[in-house]
Amino acid sequence: MAAASVEPLEPSPAGLDHDDEQPVVNGDSGEAPGGEPAGAMTTAAASSETSSSSSTSLLSCLNSEVPASCEYGRVLGKRVLWATVVLAAALFLGASQTFETQDGECTTPNVTTRQGQLCGRLVTSPTGVLYHSFQGIPYAKPPVGDLRFREPQPAEPWTGLRGALQPGAVCLQSGQGAVLETLSPTVRQAVILFKALPSFLSGFFRQQSEDCLFLNVYSRELRPARPLPVLVWIHGGGFHMGSGGPDLYGPEYLMEASSAVVLVTLNYRLGPLGFLSLPSGGVPGNAGLKDQAAALRWVRDNIQAFGGDPSRVTIFGESAGGTSVQMHMVSPLSRGLFHGAISQSGSALNPRSSTSTAAGAERARRLARQLQVQASDDADLVRRLRLLPGKVINSMSESVLTDEERSRGLAVHPFVPTAEQDEPGAFLPATPQELVYRGLSAPVPYITGINSLEAGFMMNRERDLAGVHLDREMENLVPSDLGVQHGSPANTEIARAMKRAYFGDSDRPSQMQMAEFYSDLFVNWVAHRTVNLYSRLESPALYVYRFSHDGGLTLSRRLFDKKLPGVFHGDELAYLFTQSVVPSGNESEQDVLVRKRMAELWTNFAASGNPNGDSPLLTTKWMSANNQSQLYLEIGADLAMRRGLFSPNVGFWDTVYTVREGGART
């Protein structure tokens, strides 16, 4: 598949009717589960309303001229929506195709788990390495019916031999993923065929389900002389889209590393189905994070059957997956389930990655109002939400955001992790930030890092700057965890300081200046803060990296007509995983070397808690960043140790937070 430059959607071709018949996706009908009425609003009404508003929003908001009536009409909102759709298509949507043997038959020895026997496929990697593939393994009961919004329950056992030959269904997507799905067939086809969204999206629409709690296991050896270390991958996607499917997270590079490992990838519930929180209605929240913990318990109990060592489990993830990793580090439910951790471009200290208990409950009630659910109390509200089709609930999730919430940052999604009541079964008994500050992180070796231009995808075209009002932009983007009210004198003072630090007296910043600002604001600063906190300890080991190899495998080069130099958010994934779902890149010899180095570093870390090893590929020793050494590994065309800050201006944020918090937290 040849790479194509991606441009914003133009107006719909003449003759396309936005009110075409609503698609039936994945076998859903207009009837609520069990044949019961869907609360106070029928499914048909909900679907019609969702289709109309969503298709209009998507098609009009991605045009070069954004109508004033468009809810994403702000300049930042427009950039974010387009970037989200493109990245959703390429970065977060897996499982649109499956691996198959010629006859779809099992070719591995049988393995026995606590639920029953499985068989999979023996696969040969491009370099001739053999590995065993087991896909679509249920790790929990389907979270449907009365189990919707609840903590996951152990998977049911089965009798006989179960084939694990293809991935399970993708969890129902929320936000823009759901917006795409609710378009009428004609409009959706126009989006796919006429507007340069890759054709592989057509398969994505048919494979979403609430019955989605599956994982995949890949192993070089089922019966090794010594059990193999285990890497468990948690996908990104803002907690509202994505999957652990092999089309984006293919195992070949990690299977080819000199240190043999077992790789596990998984799905977890997303959007309101995964993160709705209403404690007074019996929904404490964080079901999606509890799904991840349930998958880790499954790994503990079953991974030996695949040659894995349950005492050497490393969790790793990117973006929201990297944030999840750090949340597992402070969660009492995950304690003892893993022994190393890697956060790629994600941190639990990001104020946009979680919300308060009160805010979570308010958003749950707003969602019910948007769905026209009338209830006598919160418990009745939850009961009625359980009667609605899951696609209807997830497709309406973004509509609960207020105008102010939309204007306050990048891809602010309403249903994210929340602080729970401090009681047994809570995943987050306080905010993740507070748990980190209390020093409650699991004492395990930790890798964390960033890419060189995280927010480059937001500013890749000159016209992305059109209409930017810099003073207003700064005021809107003052971080919420500074505790100042939007529009207050304190907010204005901080906004002016932000503008001076990044742009001086200029009101016409360059694309690169804006990209660097957004990168610091949304990723670099919280990563820097994470490093500051964890580096104060002498142990366990902390390793920090900056990925700067802007090669032919990066997603941004394979999907965009890339203008800005630098490594964008998610670009490093192509150096850890094969990605058959996106156009193939122009892989150079240097790209091959970098991806082999990445696989060596990550698998060495899984094996011993130390990324260094004997491989001749690793020409530089990766030194730890403990004792506030400010050391990090630059992963570029070559490996090199550096000392200093991720970017020149993160020190500005140190000063701002020190002043606001009285020097308590930096």
Residues designated catalytic:
319, 454, 569
- Is residue 315 within 8 Å of residue 342, measured between CB atoms? yes
DSSP 86: H
- Is residue 181 within 8 Å of residue 205, measured between CB atoms? yes
> What span, in angstroms and rounded, lies between the C-alpha atoms of 391 and 212?
13
Phi, psi of 512 (to 5 degrees): -65, -40
3-state secondary structure of 10: coil
Strands 308-318 and 340-344, bridge-based pairing: parallel
3-state secondary structure 133-186: EEEEEECECCCCHHHCCCCCCECCCCCCEEECECCCCEECCCCHHHHHHHCCHH
3-state secondary structure of 547: strand
Structure tokens at 401: 């955001």
| Contacting residues for 373 by C-beta, under 8 A, at least 6 apart | 39, 40, 41, 381, 384, 385, 388
- Is residue 555 within 8 Å of residue 454, measured between CB atoms? no
* Residue in this structure with the two tokens 């990766």, named with its chain if needed: 622
Question: CA-based Rg of the chain, rounded to a whole angstrom?
Answer: 24
- Is residue 343 within 8 Å of residue 447, measured between CB atoms? yes
Cα–Cα distances in angstroms (integers) from residue 569 to residues 17, 347, 500, 541, in the given order: 36, 14, 26, 25
- The CB-based long-range contact list for 72-81 (8 Å cut-off, 24+ gap) reads 72/406, 74/406, 74/407, 75/466, 75/467, 75/468, 75/469, 75/473, 76/407, 76/410, 76/473, 76/476, 77/406, 77/407, 79/458, 79/459, 79/464, 80/410, 80/411, 80/458, 81/176
Cα–Cα distances in angstroms (integers) from residue 179 to residues 55, 174, 225, 311, in the given order: 7, 8, 50, 42
Sheet holding 161-163, edge to edge: 111-112, 117-119, 161-163
Sequence letter at residue 91: L
